[in-house]
Every structure is written in structure tokens, then in C-alpha cells.
Structure 1
């Protein structure tokens, strides 16, 4: 049994009735909130390990909940919402959500996203000594990238891009976050620039750049570096 405590924030009774037994069957303890204010209070008093958050709450927008939490907490946040506009996903992720699942959804996909988010709790800024992705080894201490014992030669920007994705492995990193972090705020809208560098990076790190397994595209939103467990 997992025993991680999950706070489900959704004002739809049918969603709560479905999620509580489904997540309990997966080994999680489930607590519930129907409003943003209730959710913020329960995070402070009930100490959940992860929050599943709907954006359309009766008292406030879910993005306000994210912003409020990120002011003091690194609690993993998985958005579960019927809002399918790319702008909504990007805004929620830029505010600090870890992942985004659209309604209607499959419980298998949701629990997989939960497991990934929980594995990365408390490690947002930590860099392991060595990280491995589908046979690619990244050694941040020595600034070294290898595959099959051969050095992968990256430009400084390609390396910075790879390292940023690796530090957020399993999570979606938005276009804007990648551009502003690696190239600076003035390049926040240079999507073509980013696509070119992602293409160059894939040519060097993927076994088959036409079918990338390490750096996955989240259409219209950003990129996700798959974890070693996900690429296995």
C-alpha cells in the first residue's frame, strides 16, 4: 500500500465519487475539498502529499490556488480539468503545476502522472550526481554527457537546455520557461528558435531522432523529458 495522502479538489460530486474509490484501490489515502479556500486550508492542516486540482472551482479559479500554494509550498499539483485550451495548460504549468490531465480521463493515465509527480517531490532544485535516460548519461558535476560510453558533444545552449529538462524529468516544461531560463526574458516568444535547438539536441541524444523517446513534445505547450522508468 502506498499510503500517500492525496487531496482531490473538485466541486463535481460524480468526479469525487469516481476518484475516491479508484485512488483508494491504488493504495492512496484520499481527502476531498470542493472549493479553493477549503483546499488551501486543508493543505495547511492535513498535509497531503499531492493535490489533484480542478481549475473551475465555485469560489476562485484553480490558477489562483496554484499561485497561493507556490508562495510557500512545493506540494506536487496535478491539474484535472475540462479546460482544453492550450493557454489554460500553459498558464497553470507556468504558475507551478507539475502536470495536466484533461477530462474525460483514464484512471491509468492519472495514476501514472501521480506516481511521477510524487517521485519528484522535494527534488525540484536538487541535481542527482548522475542521471540516466534510455541509456543517455548526464553528469552535471563534470558537465559530461555520454551514450554507450561515448561522449556526446553539445553546445553550451544545448547542454543548458538538456539540463533544465533533466532537472524537471517527468514534468512538462513550457516553451516560455525553457526560453526565458536558457536564453533570457527577451526570448520568451521565440518558439521557432526553441524548436530548432530541440531538433539539434534530439539528433545528438536520441537513438532515433524521428521517434524521440527521451524528449517528448507536448503539442502547443512545451516538452517533457521522460524518466528512466518511463523510457524503459
Structure 2
């Protein structure tokens, strides 16, 4: 890793600035967007019921939403419909949750079909990220579901919802996912990425995107000079 790769400003450009709490209000989402613009993050990630959102004119900020969140136990048709509606309401990216139970049962064809249903509903260039809940899976299961995401033409595999009691992202899981997708897909580390050092470790392990709710705390004052922020 070089210093340029892990500067706070460069880390910011890998962050999906996230607000998925059930009690989130429209005012909370407006504040999230303002903070994302201020920090220079890549996107905001919100619940689909919060769409549409207003991005300030000229802001270089994508909008991501979740589908089948957080359990993944929705039917494929429901996930696909949720994703399609979100894109119609302005989402650029969709983070879908697989059926973790199907993965635990070794039904990897079912997992692939689930992902494919959503992919078919939201064709490229919409970005599809696949949340695999890596902390709840064995290494072999992580490999198999990551391969299913490749085979179903997704764009990213993502570690975690951040809501599962098993935990969030680990360097080991990120590295295993990155090795499996072999550059064909991006890897998003999400869940428990709270400090700049956490972010740097995940990037070193192979993460190409980060899911972070506490982005300002993670980035700290280091982004001020790089982003031109004046609101700290």
C-alpha cells in the first residue's frame, strides 16, 4: 500500500455513508446527504422507503439502497421488485441480502438464482452488491456464495448487513472474498469499520468499497484540507 491509497480523502471516496436504522427520518437522511457531500464520500446508502432523495446540484454522490434487508429471508420476487422500484426512484446501486439459510444448507444454486433474479430486475449499469453475512458462514460457504455472485453477474460481494449478531467484516473474510472473485467483482467491507486504521486494514485485505455509518468519526479532521470542508 502507498500513502496515496490510504489517505483519509481516498478512503472517503470508497465509503458508502450509511443510515439504515429503522427509526431514521427524512430529516436524518437529509443530514446524511449533507454530511456525505461535506466529507466527500462515494455514496449514501439508505432504506428504500426513504427514496426519492435530493442530491445537491453538482454533488458527485451516488445513491445506494438495500433490498431484502436485513434478514435476506424475502422471496426472490420481492427482492427483485424492491430493487426495481428503488432504481425507478433514483437509486444508482442496490445492496441485496442473500438467503443465509440457503447458503448454510449448501443450496448454492438457490443463492445464485436469488441474486440472478435481482440482477435481471436491475440490469447494468445499475450496481448490484451482494451481502453474504460472512460472519455467519464458514470459509467454504464464503467461497461458494462469492462464486455464486460472480456467476449471477453481480458487481460486488459485501461482508455484512451490520445487523447480524455474528458480527461484521473481518480481514480474513475480505481477503477470502477478494481471492474468490479474483478482480471480477468488487469487495465491500461493512459492519464494524469504525476507524481509519480499520478502513486501511480492510483495503489492504482487498476491500474496494466500505460501508460506514460513522464516517465523520472515522475520517476525522484528516479530510479537511483534501475536501475543502469548512463545517468541522
- The answer to whether TM tops 0.5 is no
TM-score normalized by structure 2? 0.35
TM-score normalized by structure 1? 0.35
More strand by share: 1
Structure with greater contact order relative to length (CA < 8 Å, sep ≥ 6): 2
